[in-house]
Amino acid sequence: MLQARIRKTFPPGKESSGFALDLDFRAAAGVTVLFGPSGAGKTLALDSIAGFIRPDEGRILLDDAILFDAPSGVHLPPQARNCGYVFQNYALFPHMTLRQNLEFAAERRPRLERHRRVNEMIERFRLGETAGRRPHEVSGGERQRCSIARALIGAPKLLLLDEPAQGLDAPLRGEFYEILRQVRADFQTPILLVTHDLDECFELGEEMLVLTAGRIVQSGAPRDILDRPATLDVAKLLGAFNLLPAEIRALDPGRNTSRVQVAGVELEGPYFPGRLKGDRVTICVRPEQLHAAPRNGRPGLNQMPAELQRAIEKPQFVRLEFSGGIVVDLPRAQYERQRDAKQWMIEFPASALRAL
Amino acid sequence: MSIDWFPLWLSLRVAFVSTALAAGAGLWVAYVLANRDFRGKEALDAAVTLPLVLPPTVLGYYLLVVAGRASPLGKLWETVFGSPLVFTWKAAVVAALLHSLPLLVKSARAGLESVDRSCERAARTLGASEWKLFWRVTLPMARRPILAATALAFARSLGEFGATLMIAGNIPGRTQTVAVAIYDAVEAGNGALARTLVLVISAVALGILTIANRIAPR
């Protein structure tokens, strides 16, 4: 289990406007994902835990070992931290074969065990045929597997991964997720993964930490965060929502409902606690939660007429862009039956509305 | 006509010894400059580069002042080794070192700094001490530029003239290096000797250049 409290400030300089990292979080067994846009401080957090960067204040505890403690001046070098680190470019030693890369890492185990560990990893990560080759002579997938195997050979207490699937094509990406799931199942090591890809959070993460501008703004299971983003910023970061300006018209805690006015139409939603009538809020709802059908008569409850402006075909669904900036995702089969309609009716299921 | 091969052997011997010393000390200085930050770092860098900028006879003069028979260093040398430093082949080594060391440090430092930082970091997370990291990862990864730099330092040592003349002198059979011998031969009108020595040295230099190009980064 990792417990980290990290504070580091970079004062504004000639070329930068300064940055402040302020984190306090835990990572237990399983995969914890640090999610955030570029520049949010994700790699900085990882580097602080690995020991490449010294925070100004705080404390980093891994199981019972103190890796860093500002008041007492403890700051273990990376060699002493027993944290495996998988770099974005894999960082395999180019002048050694894959096997030699693994042997290098195995040198921290007792001599009698080394040979056995290396062979075990080669078999487990399917490197048998290519173990005698150099990194530039093998495929991207093999390099990836080797770098993960190398990081795990020393039986680290924590595995850190820096945007490992960045820039990989779909098959390699899928392969990587599969490997990581295996690692999670076979090794008990807590895994801390850094990414700006929401899909990756969902594929792998049991716990998600949303990071912006050096601070954690929300934490929880990915599906919970998607279901209930804490703030407008988080919703924007996830990029998975319609964000519609609205005004609260009525609040009824007794019946657990509210009424909001969005783009001239009144919609019913769940009760929004902590709000007052007349408040201006942003209603957020996911494109795949909305229903849309060609217009057929007058709007009913929670229905809004809209004109279809654009239909973008995606591999798994069709994204419909309507007037008013509303986006609806429809399964392809459903869209195919109605593709020529111009006037549509969008239905907002009451339970899907959130107010930020 | 007999050719006196002594200057050639002397120059080769001087070049080997000075390059070996330059490599040993130079690698260490390059490592410090590439990896450590400290006050006076830029001053150290400047001090190491200085011999490259000063004219060789100026360097020779400074050497005489610092290591000549009357200086503290010279006296110390005499007490330890029983004979003076100046006007011996060892002085020629010192003169050659003054030029080959800065060359080697600059190239080695650039080579070390060009090594992928993430590989070095990876080695650290895998438990490698700084010593293991340097000898098993950084140096092998930087071996091409460093070997090329060593070859060039050797070539430079072979041709040292100005400072050598001042501190080692021109004693035939003892401190007359090949560069000085060529000068002497031309002055004395001994064209055949001069030509032979020049041809041999040119061949050696060309050979070194070819080797250096082969092992330099593609």
Looking at chain A, the whole-number percentage of residues with pLDDT higher than 70 is 100
> ipTM score here?
0.83
User: Is A2-235 a CATH 3.40.50.300 domain?
Assistant: yes
- Go through chain B and tell me how many residues it has: 218
Contact state of B141 with A95 under an 8 Å Cβ cutoff: yes
8 Å CB contact between B165 and B173: no
CB A253 within 8 A of CB A326: no
Element (H, E) at B59: helix B56-67
Nearest residue on chain A to B123, alpha-carbon basis: A105
So what's the pLDDT on residue B87? 79
Q: Which residue has the higher pLDDT, A16 or A289?
A: A289
The burial of A266, by beta-carbon neighbours within 10 Å (0-12 exposed, 13-18 middle, 19 or more buried), is given as middle
Q: What is the pLDDT of residue A146?
A: 94
**Contact check, Cβ <8 Å, B121/A89:** no
In this model, does residue A184 exceed pLDDT 80?
A: yes
Residue among A67, A79, A97, A152 with most chain B CBs within 10 A, to mutate: A79
Other Cβ atoms less than 10 A from the Cβ of A179: the count is: 19
How do the domains of chain A map onto residue ranges? 2-235, 241-355
Q: The pTM is what?
A: 0.82
Please tell me the distance in Å from B145's CA to the nearest CA on chain A. Answer: 15
- Name the one residue in this structure whose structure tokens are 């006509």: B1
The string of DSSP codes covering A129-168 is TTTTS-GGGS-HHHHHHHHHHHHHHT--SEEEEESTTTT-
What confidence score (pLDDT) does residue A194 get? Answer: 93
Q: Is the pLDDT of residue B191 over 90?
A: no
Q: Which two three-digit tokens encode residue A341?
A: 């309609």
Q: Place B217 in a pLDDT band, splitting at 50, 70 and 90.
A: low
Q: How sure is the predictor about B216, in pLDDT bands with cuts at 50, 70 and 90?
A: low
Task: Classify burial at B156, counting beta carbons within 10 Å of its beta carbon; exposed 0-12, middle 13-18, buried 19 or more.
Answer: buried
Residue A278 CB partners (closer than 8 Å, separation 6+): A247, A248
Q: Does domain A241-355 have CATH number 1.10.3720.10?
A: no
Q: What is the DSSP letter of A87?
A: -
Helix (H) or strand (E) holding B44: helix B41-53
pLDDT digits (tens, 9 = 90+) for B78-99: 788 777 777 778 888 888 888 8
CA atoms of A334 and A294, how far apart (whole Å):
11
> What pLDDT was estimated at residue A242?
86
Residues of chain A with a CB closer than 8 angstroms to some CB in chain B? 50-52, 77-79, 81-85, 87-89, 91-95, 104-105, 107-108, 150-151, 154
Count of Cβ atoms closer than 10 Å to residue A93 Cβ:
23
Which residue, among A156, A155, A97, has the nearest Cα to A128 in the 3D structure?
Answer: A97
Share the mean pLDDT of chain B: 84
Average pLDDT of A196-221? 90
The mean pLDDT of A340-349, rounded to a whole number, is 85
Average pLDDT estimate for A186-212:
89
Instruction: Please report, for residues A286, B29, B31, B108, B132, the alpha-carbon distance to residue B25 in angstroms, rounded to integers and kept in the order given.
Output: 66, 6, 10, 11, 19
Q: Give A-chain residues touching B127 at CB under 8 angstroms.
A: 79, 82, 105, 107-108, 154
The residues, any chain, with a CB within 8 Å of residue B41's CB and separated by 6 or more, are B33
Rounded (10°) CA dihedral A33, A38, A40, A43:
60
Q: What is the CA radius of gyration of chain A?
A: 25
> Which of B123, B206, B38, B196 lies closest to A150 in space, CA to CA?
B123
Band of residue A34 on the pLDDT scale cut at 50, 70, 90: very high
Q: What is the pLDDT of residues A282-331, one digit of tens each?
A: 888 888 888 888 888 888 888 888 888 888 888 888 888 888 888 988 88
Q: Which two tokens stand for residue A56?
A: 């100004």
User: Class for domain B6-215, per CATH?
Assistant: mainly alpha
> Across residues A148-154, what is the average pLDDT?
93
Which residues in chain B are closer than 8 Å to A82, comparing Cβ atoms?
A: 127
Is A94 in Cβ contact with B121 (below 8 Å)? Answer: no
Q: What is the pLDDT of residue B88?
A: 79
Q: Which residues, 6+ apart, have CB-to-CB distance to B199 below 8 Å?
A: none
Strand pairing category for A74-75 and A83-86: unpaired
Between residues 104 and 133 of chain B, which touch chain A (CB distance below 8 Å)? 116, 118-119, 121-129
